[in-house]
Amino acid sequence: MKSQDKKVKKALISLFHKDGIDEAIRDLHANGVEIFSTGGTQKAIEAMGIPVTTVESLTGFPSIMGGRVKTLHPKVFGGILRRSQDTGDLDVLQEMEIPAFDLVVVDLYPFSETLQSGATHADIMEKVDIGGISLIRAAAKNFTDVLVIPSRDDYGLLKAVAGRPGCTSSLAERRQQAARAFALSSTYDHAIGAYLDSAGSNTENQERKSLRYGENPHQKGFFNGRLEDMISQLHGKALSYNNLLDIDAAVALAGDFDSRTCAIVKHGNPCGLATRDSVLKGWKDALAGDPVSAFGGIIIFNSEVDNETAFELDKLFFEVLIAPSYSDEALLKLKSRKNRILLTLKDHEVNRWQVRTVLNGTLEQERDSACEAAGDLKCVTSRQPAGDEISDLLFANKIVKHSKSNAIVLAKGGQLIGSGAGHTSRVDALQYAMEKASRNGFDLRDAVMASDAFFPFPDCVEIAHGGGISAVVQPGGSVKDQASIDYCDRQGMAMVFTGIRHFRH
């Protein structure tokens, strides 16, 4: 045995998942390792016919509060954190009859899995591991003396160590496992923090609501949260899974506009939007942007819906209407259809974090809260954009931010006149947007174009110029930016860079 190798004499084992470890437990016992454990792990090991020293007998303190407090005791953590070369530490162990642990094996409560399952807030919080994460961090800190196995993903190394004569681990193995333990601890804690942040300040009162179905009728669907804190439903059928997705998209989109605005959302993408002085004009011009896609869509206003506008709205079938308020006459008119969903949007805090399940875990990211202003635009062409072009460029850039990638938005006079969203090719997105604008009777001369990401080639500005588009806004950042800039200069087009990409998947 090398001088820095450590023989396992005493092991502390605490597992949520008990499967896949039997062979290692038997090998540890065969090599004379004393095993300490508690709760369900203790029972599982004893069921194998292997003796276990209970943590309760070590600490003289029972497991309390339904198992919430088991291992949090000086006799446990002293045995993990003692330094084998420190005589003072060794004196304390002897005086207080604390065993020196050489191996700590933990499998944490499955927080992320519980979150993904659609469990209630209370059940999710019960799967926040306290003792286990503390054992992992303590063992990792003292890796010179202790080997930590922080996850069932590391049972392969555990089996290797348990099967060696003397059950020895090398310093390199202990250091590597310590690094893995701290990485796991960081990921675990971040998932908890992201959940609490995204759930808002009323997590203790969250409810799990059963929906009619998920995205499709054969899928189950649930909503976890308190919708009533953000919206009030004044009329209509129960909100569906797809309704909620589109409402979320619509609320986020409208939140980027300060002027009086009407927007229409379909399958998560803006398909109509206009900023106007009157609510009625805003509705008419938003609808004109894509009257076909508006059918069955989600409509949102950021100002009160009046009776005149309600009369025009009533001519179209739509799923959901959202506004801060309605006039009495407007509400009476809009309630004429039984299933039409009418909502009011309350003052609310926007969740900072977005969470989605991926593979066997979760992804968390900060919400894209960037909303570029005139001062953020960097002109890269010889021609500067004119006053109306600047306002339209900012307008189009807000819309493309909320469109699924690859996305192109065409705008003119504070109106969305064409968009291509969710295309695998940026060229296809542009051509679709131009074709749609033409089909709906719009003149592209002096319109502007916004792209959610940079142009890898000058083909998009070439196509845009061919249609009459005069100005372009994009993030920039391509190694071939200059090719697009040079083309714009030759054709007298203006182009500005924002430096901020707005991918949306």
Q: Which residues are catalytic?
A: 141, 267
Q: Is 298 exposed, middle or buried (CB count within 10 Å of its CB: 0-12, 13-18, 19+)?
A: buried
C-alpha span between 166 and 163 (Å, rounded) = 8
Q: Give the β-pairing of 416-420 and 408-411.
A: antiparallel
Please tell me what DSSP assigns to residue 466. Answer: H
255, two tokens: 């939140």
DSSP string, 300-332: EESS-B-HHHHHHHTTS--SEEEES-B-HHHHH
257 neighbors 275 (Cβ within 8 angstroms): yes
- Phi, psi (rounded to 5 degrees) for 250: -65, -45
- Residue 67 φ then ψ, to 5°: 90, 0
Q: Which of 269, 268, 282 is nearest to 312 (CA)?
A: 282
- Sort 199 into a burial class: Cβ within 10 Å, 0-12 / 13-18 / 19+: buried
Sequence length of the chain is 505
| DSSP 8-state secondary structure symbol assigned to residue 376 | G
> Contact, 414 vs 394, CB < 8 A?
no
Read off the tokens for 74.
């000086």
Q: How far apart are the first and last CA of the chain?
A: 54
